[in-house]
Structure 1
Amino acid sequence: MSTTPAVPAGLPALPQHPDVDHWRPAVRADIDDIVALCRAMDPFDNPHRVTSRDEIADQFDHAWIDMAADSLLAIAADGTLVAYAMVVLSPSRDVSVYSYVFGGVHPAWRERGIGRVLLAWSLERSKQQLASVETGAPASSRAYVDERNPGAARLLERFGFGVARYFTIMERDLSAPIDEIDVPDGVRLEAYHPDVAERTREARNDSFRDHWGSLETVPAMWAQFVGGSHFRDDLSVVAIDDDGRVVGFTLAEVDEDSWSAQGFTSAYIALVGTVRDWRGRRLAPALLATALRRIQAAGLERATLEVDTASPTGALGLYERQGFVATTRDLAYVRER
């Protein structure tokens, strides 16, 4: 555990709790302790995954996160890290402004009220973040909860959050046949490569403009995503039209740390999209089938993804027709400013 860093002025008052010796922001030296804490929480809070070290370490490299102001650790008298919080203001702020609340308490330290005082601090920090943006755009605090974690859901509801959307987690068994789907005329499919990074980002922003809760992915966020240790160029597919424009994509990640919790090897299809002027031409099914064959050829057992149950694009039906089966759901909680 690192030495205590200074807490910047102007932040919410630190929580008070008899079981917590002191509170402080996170620093890089805490990464391994935060990972250990998250992995202790995962079976209760995110049973289908295991937090990776890269996932936590990357948070310290995001230009839009100020760890000194946006994170908080709860330390017991013996130096044990028992809880943490992180409050992240999205760097895209033109259409809407979102402040995301993350965190949790070690299972052995729950039912003592630590989570309640930590969430209260997080929401005060979230209010400060939202107030700092003067675009006049709608603003809200947001959090995501696995439906198998009713305790976290009750706590959020106690603080004025409500369920705004349901996201279904789906799996596709790759031992089953994959349909051959013709690629539409005027477009070619190829593996993602860095030369199309910016064109793919533009396609992502166009295709997700009418999706609930979606904001523009700014270049810094995109670079973190496609440059991340889990991103797999070879399992990702882009559709390029005759003018060289990226008009569709499926982008995949592989997180080997989560295989033990899942009970199978897999690739996670993080993004599937088609620009709006290419919708209705069966480009998305062709992209998805191509991606599934690539994942299958890599020797992985399943493909997984997450879909907005009420997506206006009919994505849920697309995935069901491609052999995906619903497993569980994440609940999107929102508290308007």
Structure 2
Amino acid sequence: MAIPAENRFESDPDEVLPDGHGLPDGWSVAAPDPGDPADVAALVHLLRAHEEAARGWASADDDTVLVEISEVGVRTRENLLVRDRRGDVRAWGSVHDRAAGRMLYSHVVARDLRDDVAQRCSEVLFAWAEAQAREVGAARGLPVQQIDTGAFAGDDRQHRWLAAAGFERVREWWQMSRPVEAAEADLVPDPVTWEARGVRFRLVRREEVDGVRTGMPDVDDLRAVHEVLEGAFTDHFNSREETFGEFVHRLREDPGHRWDHWWLAERVDDEARAGHGGTPEPCGALVGTHLESEDGPDGSYVEYLGVLASARGRGVAKGLLRTVVADAAARGRDRVGLEVDASSSTGADGLYVSMGWQTRYVTESWHKDVPVE
């Protein structure tokens, strides 16, 4: 499970930002200090205020910030802070070398700044992000590097800045949630493993100690999950090839990562075994995470759900969704969340709605292609 050998970004802001950033006198730019609790607290406050203003409610916490700035993500991420003359954090940019040709970018500017100062902070962050796109694109040997950033659907200020910086709004995403009742623990015979219509649904295998799954997962199972998802999303919007090492490293960064939230679906009928050397044929996968709550019950989240085209129509997606709901109910959780492409041609949204999911809020993808000099 190799991870990237080195950071492809430029860590020194002075190397990528033009001389004279144009910020007010006494303001500065620098990388955050992940070991400084004050920096972490400041970024949590900044991000929560951004969420509150743009979405209506906040969810960011220490873990949300640390996954971006801590040593865990140092090989695939870089960050830039804008500080005022008192040293307070007023803006934050974060880039993530997500996959070949795709760089994720987060752009947050304090909501209480005067408009002209806020816009200048925004322009500095965009200039830095484009420079980082050229750095990572050159390191990957690409002629063009995509910057992929997001915005809440109602955030007019962010939309205005993105359009002015040359970004194009390309997609909407429905952020959906479904309530979970305790009785739904019986939706499937056992979330660990069960079968229906020639398909077996099971957790990825892990080492057992005294009959309890406590060890690392089976690498072959993880590779099967990766291969299924790569195959299932080949024709989906903005799908980019991601190596196995990049895939596992990225998902393990998530604060809610749990190995016992990864499921495989396998065809076990005679036809599938005959075409797969006599062994079950992986045909679907679901990667879930644990959603912690500040108050009240926790939840589960469907990070990935994919079914190979050859297995569609067999109830694989529905079986995996029933499994994660039953698992959440058994754990005493009260909801399962997921994201769906509002323009998807697969009809996934119809399945989710039929199974009780409702849209809670909407996000958008904005893209810009940066020529690599």
Give TM-score scaled by structure 1 length. 0.84
Is 2:12 the partner of 1:7?
yes
Work out whether 1:188 is the aligned partner of 2:188. Answer: no
Contact kept, 8 Å, 2:174 with 2:339, in 1: the verdict is yes
Match of 2:104 in 1: 100
| 8 Å CA contact retained: 1:99, 1:126 | no
- Residue 312 (1) aligns with residue 345 (2): yes
Alignment match, 1:171: 177
- When structure 1 is superposed on structure 2, of 118-127 and 285-294 the one drifting more is 118-127
Q: CA deviation at 1:162?
A: 1.7
- Partner Cα distance (1:72, 1:272) in 2: 33
| Residues 1:17 and 2:23 are matched in the alignment | yes
SS at match of 1:220: helix
How far, CA to CA, are the matches of 1:310 and 1:133 in structure 2? 33
Contact kept in structure 1, 2:301 and 2:337, CA below 8 Å: yes
Corresponding residue for 2:76? 65
Q: Which moved more, 1:240-249 or 1:267-276?
A: 240-249
SS at match of 1:189: strand
Kept after mapping to 2: 8 A contact 1:130/1:140: no
**Cα distance 1:116–1:66, how it changes in 2: closer, same or farther (>3 A)?**
closer
The structure with the larger Rg is 2
8 Å Cα contact 1:100/1:142 also seen in 2: yes
TM-superposed CA distance for 1:230, in Å, is: 0.6
1:40 to 27, 34, 49: 49
Are residues 63 and 104 of structure 1, via their aligned partners in 2, closer, same or farther at CA, if it must alter by over 3 Å? closer
Q: Distance in 1 between matches of 2:106 and 2:134?
A: 16
Please state whether the residue corresponding to 1:323 is helix, strand or coil. Answer: coil
Deviations 1:252-311 (A, max 9, x none): 112315x56xx8742211111112221121111111112111112221111111100122
The structural deviation recorded for 1:101 is 1.9
| Aligned mates of 1:223, 1:123 — CA distance in 2 | 23
1:225 corresponds to which of 230, 235, 251: 251
C-alpha displacement of 1:75: 1.1
Which sections of structure 1, spanning at least 5 residues, go unmatched? 1-5
| Residue 3 of structure 1: aligned partner | none
Deviation at 1:126, TM superposition (A): 4.3
TM-score of the superposed pair, with normalisation by structure 2: 0.76
CA contact (8 A) 2:151 2:363 kept: yes
Q: Give the secondary-structure state (helix, strand or coil) at the position aligned to 1:28.
A: coil
Of all paired residues, the percent bearing the same amino acid is: 21
* C-alpha distance in 2 between matches for 1:274 and 1:329: 24
Gaps of 5+ in 2: 1-10, 189-193, 206-216, 269-278
The answer to whether the aligner puts 1:146 opposite 2:146 as a matched pair is no
Question: 2: CA distance between counterparts of 1:287 and 1:212?
Answer: 22
Q: 1-side partners of 2:224 and 2:176: how far apart?
A: 28
Give the partner amino acid of 1:248.
Answer: G
Aligned partner of 2:313 in structure 1 is 280
Partner of 1:124: 130
Q: What CA deviation, in whole Å up to 9, does each residue of 1:111-143 have, x standing for no partner?
A: 232443233323432442364156557642221
Match of 1:251 among 272, 275, 287: 287
